[in-house]
Structure 1
Amino acid sequence: MSDIVVYDKAKYHYQGEFPNDISYDQAFVHTGMFLGWIIDNNLFSEEFKEETQIEINKFRQRDISGTQIYKIWDGVLVDDMLNDEGNKFAKFYFDFETGLYLKDYEEIFQNIDTLYHVNDNWENYFKIKEVIDRRFKEYKSK
């Protein structure tokens, strides 16, 4: 039996060095935006699709955000939520120790106090989506 890969948990953030001046909900945003990108690119697993089809449709209609879906999944992003290609990319790009996601995220939102201060809105999602799209193209070309 293989070990589950946990990419992120919101509680890692709000139980750590988290700003006192914002809601714990903000701990969900940075990973929620990545999950939204996963959904936009059909890089989720069949199991995730079966359990989240209604929410996936609402996300694609821009009625709910990736952050809201991440909250529904208790603020946990694990490998069984992604398909093979999604996992390969997440290990390459989203991994907090070796990937570039957090660096890109902080660069895109550099005028914000911390990564936790980024608002969960479509404008911000599309900003980071553009960067992830570029990174995914670079990844695929290798």
Structure 2
Amino acid sequence: MKYDDATWHTAGNFPSELPPEAGATHTGMFLAWALLSGLAGDLHIKDLPQNIPLLQSRQVTPGEFFLTACDGKFVDEDLNAEGNSFAALYFDLQRGSYIHDYEKILAKGLPGAYHVPDTWESFDKLKPYLDKRLNQFRTMPT
């Protein structure tokens, strides 16, 4: 299953003043957080074990990582079972609240969500909210 693809964001109403890479920032932030939070799937643990250390050392930004290590595609293989359950509810671009949270936390005062800088500073602002959402998810009745 494909949750997101950076190419989905660079057409239509995408801001002409931004590079196409700006369409990957929101997903890169979520995926980097998930991989650093113990939600990584075997793809990043067994098949591509170099990926998580790249993020841990902050050698690349979250958006850069998403574009280079994942070819701009966020798929179910990126996450473990818990990560996929969480992403299906929270990240879902149509029904989830991730984009709303992302915009509320990072896009204040900016022309739009695509203008959020792909930086670790942005990631650090977003991380506590993602941690909170995951904790809420973990305490939901099954």
Under a length normalisation based on structure 1, what TM-score does the superposition of the two structures give? 0.92
In structure 2, how many angstroms separate the alpha carbons of the residues matched to 1:52 and 1:119? 26
Residue type at the aligned position of 2:33: W
CA contact (8 A) 2:62 2:119 kept: no
- Which residue of the partner structure matches residue 8 of structure 1? 4
Cα shift at 1:130: 1.1
Cα shift at 1:38: 0.8
Per-residue CA shift, 1:54-88, capped at 9, x if unaligned?
A: 23102101222221221021110011111100000
CA contact (8 A) 1:35 1:67 kept: no
In structure 2, how many angstroms separate the alpha carbons of the residues matched to 1:66 and 1:21? 21
What fraction of aligned residue pairs are identical, expressed as a percent? Answer: 34
- Answer yes or no: is 1:27 the counterpart of 2:23: yes
- Aligned residue for 1:53, secondary structure, equals coil
In structure 1, how many angstroms separate the alpha carbons of the residues matched to 2:28 and 2:85? 18
- Answer yes or no: is 1:83 the counterpart of 2:80: yes
Could you say what the CA RMSD is over the residues aligned between the two structures, in angstroms? Answer: 1.1
In structure 2, how many angstroms separate the alpha carbons of the residues matched to 1:47 and 1:74? 13
- Which residue of the partner structure matches residue 93 of structure 1? 90
Cα shift at 1:48: 2.6
Cα shift at 1:51: 3.5
CA contact (8 A) 1:70 1:76 kept: yes
Q: 4+ runs of 1 displaced by more than 3 Å?
A: none
- Which residue of the partner structure matches residue 59 of structure 1? 55
Gaps of 5+ in 2: none
- Which residue of the partner structure matches residue 113 of structure 1? 111
Cα shift at 1:44: 1.4
- Which residue of the partner structure matches residue 46 of structure 2? 50
In structure 1, how many angstroms separate the alpha carbons of the residues matched to 2:117 and 2:81? 30
- Aligned residue for 2:74, secondary structure, equals strand
Aligned length: 138
Cα shift at 1:47: 2.1
Greater Cα shift, 94-103 or 41-50: 41-50
